[in-house]
């Protein structure tokens, strides 16, 4: 994130290669009875597709490749649930059912503090970025049920967006019940701490953890972004 702030260069990302997946799956199959491979949304990355092809090359039936239809903390919560189920001694089939049933109940919302990096990466027009930054209006982003990134609500100031995130968290918690949640940030620990305290005040329990958003996502959202991911009870 320091590099992002200090340079005008554009950055790009790429999924692991087919060969890398084959090598890793070959090793895992030699050590374990089965492998569960959870990936960020297939609608946003080619990783899931490459992983599936590599799994098929290695035999397929013992390697289970899952499209989380989510990103960042949403994916992290699903991995956490799978790990907890494995630690409890549940079978592969039981773990797969737990993960698959949790995917539609997983939500993520984050607010941006600048449009600079969306413009730099070609995901927003230069004029829209200029106007948004001038008026102090920034978007919030979420992931829809198909795993596609989309805007959440109307753009607003950082303070207004924080208020909207808290309102949505409370609404979802009241309506569906809360299983667990995490707080996310992109080099914005102070904002994340404030958000975590507010969310805990709403639901009565602390987040599972607070995590920094991966640079794979952060090169587009930019430093200063913060949000939450949650798994609902229903």
Instruction: Output the DSSP codes for 64-118.
Output: EEEE-S--HHHHHHHHHHHHHHHHTT--HHHHHHHHHHHGGGEEEEEE-S-SHHH
Are the C-beta atoms of 229 and 74 separated by less than 8 Å? Answer: yes
pLDDT score for 117? 63
Instruction: Tell me which residue has tokens 């404030």.
Output: 194
Q: Domain segments of the chain: what residues?
A: 2-7+106-232, 18-100
CA 143/CA 121 separation, integer angstroms = 19
Gap between the Cα atoms of 233 and 57, Å rounded: 37
How far apart CA 171 and CA 157 sit, in angstroms, is: 21
pLDDT of residue 112: 87
Q: What is the pLDDT of residue 126?
A: 42
pLDDT tens-place values along the chain, 234 residues long:
777 777 777 777 788 999 999 999 999 999 999 999 999 999 999 999 999 999 998 877 899 999 999 999 999 999 999 999 999 999 999 999 999 999 999 999 999 876 666 555 454 444 344 334 444 577 888 999 999 988 888 888 888 999 999 999 999 999 999 999 999 999 999 999 999 999 999 999 999 999 999 888 777 778 889 999 999 999
Long-range contacts, 168-171 (Cβ 8 Å, 24+): 168/109, 169/109, 169/199, 169/202, 169/203, 169/228, 169/230, 170/202
**What pLDDT does residue 61 have?**
86
What is the model's pLDDT at position 167?
97
Pairing of strands 226-232, 106-111: antiparallel
Query: Collapsing DSSP states into helix, strand and coil, what is residue 27?
Result: helix
Measured CA distances, 17 to 25, 27, 38, 47, 112 (Å)? 12, 16, 16, 8, 31
CATH of 18-100, one of 3.40.50.10170, 1.10.10.10, 3.30.470.20, 3.90.75.20: 3.40.50.10170
Token pair of 184, please?
């996310």
Q: Which residues, other chains included, contact 199 with Cβ-Cβ below 8 Å and sequence gap of 6+?
A: 166, 169, 181, 183, 207, 228
What CATH number should be reported for the domain whose range is 2-7+106-232?
A: 3.30.1180.10
């Amino acid at each position: 994130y320091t590099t992002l702030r200090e340079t005008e260069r554009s950055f790009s990302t790429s999924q692991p290669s087919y060969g890398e997946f084959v090598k890793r799956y070959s090793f895992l199959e030699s050590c374990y009875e089965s492998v569960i491979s959870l990936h960020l949304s297939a609608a946003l990355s080619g990783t899931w597709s490459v992983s599936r092809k590599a799994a098929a090359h290695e035999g397929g039936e013992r390697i289970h490749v899952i499209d989380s239809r989510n990103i960042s903390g949403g994916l992290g919560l699903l991995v956490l649930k799978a790990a907890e189920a494995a630690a409890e001694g549940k079978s592969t089939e039981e773990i797969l059912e737990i993960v698959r049933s949790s995917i539609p109940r997983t939500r993520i919302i984050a607010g941006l503090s600048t449009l600079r990096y969306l413009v730099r990466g070609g995901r927003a027009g230069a004029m829209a970025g200029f106007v948004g930054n001038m008026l102090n209006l920034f978007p919030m982003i979420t992931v829809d049920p198909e795993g596609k990134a989309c805007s959440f609500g109307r753009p607003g100031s950082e303070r207004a967006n924080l208020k909207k995130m808290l309102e949505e968290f409370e609404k979802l918690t009241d309506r569906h019940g809360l299983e667990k949640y995490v707080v996310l940030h992109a080099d914005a620990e102070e904002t994340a701490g404030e958000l975590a305290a507010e969310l805990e005040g709403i639901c009565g329990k602390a987040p599972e953890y607070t995590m920094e958003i991966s640079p794979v996502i952060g090169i587009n959202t930019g430093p200063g972004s913060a949000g939450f991911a949650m798994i609902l009870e229903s």
